[in-house]
């Protein structure tokens, strides 16, 4: 395929997550795609990416600092912009790219609050351009199999779902080292992290959330909690890298020990002001670290959800109660904390010795014996989802997906709507109707009716 006919892609946000999207684009899918520009707050981070391109035998691409984002759109003329910046900025880059005539792929969550979400919905309506949300969870084979079982009526009509997600003291703590620990940046982990889980349930049920009631507290991270537990010594330094007092701290993250962390974060600090390894027991954290909520859907189903961010193990349990039986989905496969590595370098950080590790699906029919659903062992990034998702983004056009795994701006809004309404409920101590915050086609009943 000639350069003139290749699809032109630009990226805004060159932190650790972008690697898993850029590297396949410029290697496996380069015949049909071209990387034409990078944009970031930090020229150091963009230089790191161009160095990675050089190692792959590729030429560097133009790099634009954040204030020159519009220049990048005008000069490089991308067909599609991939947004991987801080969550609270997603809407700004999405809206500007749409009005410049570009389609957009955005990392989840689509954005962080109701006003920003409405701005994205309005921009799509005004421009007619397309926004897709990178919900990689939908594309993992085990989660796809759950969808297939539900669609097949294996347990009749699903009436309720229980989803418990545990973030461990490696992965979960990492959110409290970073910008995610502030509500203004992330919308809380009910938006940043749980958007995956709410999207899965919306998609599994083919349902649109209607009302949310939630509780949330910060009971583990932050200075006061550490002192109350007798861990005051863990609060005595603002960050971990280069701190002798942190040598034995189990929450320590030393940026100097990883090439990608050094190049993307430590060396970029002076320019970007972003400190990647802040102490998780510092002052100023303002998001909860445990959350519990209930959701009622327009079609009547109920979701009971909990998220704990300080667990000794990582994973989730999901149970589906149908009028013909029950499905249990179990996923405890170790931490997949973002270490800013390419897909080929990715690995699960195992915690040996834990009981009942692994990933499985068991069906419990009414009046019959339960059975395990046979599935192959999958050991790849995000349960094998990233590779499948990249093929969808960059590969040849495919027929419409029978399982509806592609998520556009309205389905992206349906996901964050649960977390945004959940935080509003926590702060106001009341049930919150999603329609108060985000307009999701009032006449629609099913998620599949949303783009």
Q: Residue 366 belongs to a domain with what CATH number?
A: 3.30.360.10
10 domain residue, yes or no = yes
Residue 97 lies inside a defined structural domain of this protein: yes
Q: Which domain holds residue 342?
A: 137-221+285-449
pLDDT at 191 over 80: yes
Same domain, 322 and 356: yes
The predicted pLDDT at position 385 comes to: 78
Helix axes 90-99, 69-76, angle to 10 degrees: 30
Domain boundary, last residue among 203, 238, 272: 272
**Pair (122, 66) in one structural domain:** yes
Q: Region 296-322: what's the mean pLDDT?
A: 97
- Indicate whether 234 and 342 sit together in one domain: no
Of 211, 237, 272, the domain-final residue: 272
Residue 352 has pLDDT above 90, yes or no: no
Tell me, what's the pLDDT at 379?
62
Mean pLDDT of 354-370: 87
Side-chain half-sphere CA neighbours of 251 within 13 A = 28
Domain boundary among 272, 294, 312: 272
CATH of the domain at 129: 3.40.50.720
- Residue 8 within a domain: yes
- Do 65 and 125 belong to one domain? yes
436 belongs to a structural domain = yes
State the pLDDT at residue 437: 98
Position 420 in a domain? yes
Average pLDDT over residues 86-109: 98
pLDDT(342) > 60: no
pLDDT at 350 over 60: no
Report percent pLDDT > 90 for the chain.
88
Averaged pLDDT, 360-364: 97
Average pLDDT, the chain: 93
Flag whether 207 is in a domain.
Answer: yes
- Is the per-residue pLDDT at 341 higher than 50? no
Average pLDDT over residues 150-157: 98
Residues 123 and 258 in one domain: no
- Residue 278 covered by a domain: no
Claim to verify: residue 69 and residue 173 sit in the same structural domain: no
Q: What is the predicted pLDDT for the residue at 118?
A: 98
In the predicted structure, residue 281 carries a pLDDT above the cut 70: yes
- Are 177 and 228 found together in one domain? no
123 and 146 in a single domain? The answer is no
Res. 346 pLDDT band, cuts 50 70 90: very low
- Give the pLDDT confidence score for residue 391 in this predicted structure: 92
What is the mean pLDDT of the segment spanning 215-224?
Answer: 98
pLDDT at 381: 58
Average pLDDT over residues 293-309: 98
pLDDT band at 345 (very low <50, low <70, confident <90, very high): low
Residue 294 and residue 252 share a domain: no
Lowest mean pLDDT, pick from 196-205, 235-244, 258-267:
258-267
Return the pLDDT at 190.
Answer: 98
Does 371 score more than 60 pLDDT?
A: yes
Instruction: Give the model's pLDDT for residue 336.
Output: 52
% of the chain at pLDDT higher than 70: 92
pLDDT for the residue numbered 376: 81
pLDDT band with cut points at 50, 70 and 90 for residue 399 = confident
Q: 167 and 64, same structural domain?
A: no
The region of weakest confidence among 44-53, 134-143, 322-331, 376-385 is 376-385
In a domain, 279, yes or no: no
Same domain? 396 vs 316? yes
Residue 2, pLDDT score = 42
Q: Looking at the 3D structure of the chain, how many domains does it have?
A: 3
Ranges 61-65, 245-249, 396-400: which has the least confidence:
396-400
Answer yes or no: is pLDDT of 296 > 80: yes
Quick check: 212 pLDDT over 70?
A: yes
What local confidence, expressed as pLDDT, does residue 349 receive?
A: 52
Q: Same domain, yes or no, for 399 and 379? A: yes
């Amino acid at each position: 395929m000639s350069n003139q006919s290749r699809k032109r892609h630009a990226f805004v946000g060159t932190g650790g997550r972008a690697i898993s999207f850029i590297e396949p684009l410029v290697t496996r899918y380069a015949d049909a795609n071209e990387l034409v520009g990078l944009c970031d707050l930090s020229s150091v981070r963009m230089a790191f990416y161009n160095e990675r391109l050089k190692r792959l035998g590729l030429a560097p691409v133009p790099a634009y600092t954040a204030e020159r984002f519009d220049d990048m759109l005008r000069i490089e003329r991308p067909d599609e912009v991939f947004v991987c910046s801080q969550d609270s900025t997603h809407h700004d880059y999405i809206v500007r790219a749409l009005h410049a005539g570009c389609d957009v792929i955005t990392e989840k969550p689509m954005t962080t609050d109701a006003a920003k979400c409405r701005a994205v919905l309005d921009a799509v309506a005004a421009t007619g351009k397309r926004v897709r949300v990178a919900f990689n969870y939908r594309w993992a084979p085990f989660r796809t199999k759950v969808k297939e079982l539900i669609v097949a009526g294996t347990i009749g009509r699903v009436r309720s779902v229980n989803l418990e997600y545990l973030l461990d003291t490696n992965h979960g703590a990492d959110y409290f080292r970073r910008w995610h620990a502030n509500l203004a940046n992330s919308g809380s982990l009910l938006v940043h992290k749980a958007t995956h889980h709410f999207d899965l349930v919306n998609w599994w049920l083919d349902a649109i959330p209607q009302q949310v009631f939630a509780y949330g507290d910060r009971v583990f991270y932050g200075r006061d909690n550490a002192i109350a537990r007798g861990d005051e010594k863990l609060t005595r330094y603002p960050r971990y890298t280069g701190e002798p007092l942190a040598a034995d701290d189990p929450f320590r993250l030393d940026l100097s020990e990883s090439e990608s962390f050094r190049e993307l974060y430590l060396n970029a600090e002076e320019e970007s002001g972003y400190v990647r390894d802040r102490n998780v027991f510092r002052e100023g954290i303002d998001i909860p670290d445990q959350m519990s909520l209930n959701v009622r859907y327009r079609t009547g189903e109920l979701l009971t959800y909990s998220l704990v961010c300080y667990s000794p193990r990582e994973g989730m349990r999901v149970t589906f109660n149908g009028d013909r039986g029950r499905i249990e989905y179990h996923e405890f496969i170790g931490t997949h904390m973002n270490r800013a590595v390419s897909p080929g370098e990715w690995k699960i950080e195992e915690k040996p010795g834990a009981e009942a590790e692994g990933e499985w699906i068991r069906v419990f029919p009414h009046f019959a014996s339960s059975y395990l659903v046979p599935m192959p062992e999958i050991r790849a990034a995000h349960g094998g989802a990233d590779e499948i998702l990249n093929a969808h983004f960059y590969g040849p056009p495919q027929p419409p997906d029978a399982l509806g795994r592609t998520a556009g701006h309205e389905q992206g809004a349906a996901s964050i709507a649960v977390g945004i309404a959940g935080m509003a409920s926590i702060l106001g101590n009341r049930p919150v109707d999603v329609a108060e915050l985000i307009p999701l086609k009032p006449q629609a009943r099913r998620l599949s009716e949303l783009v």
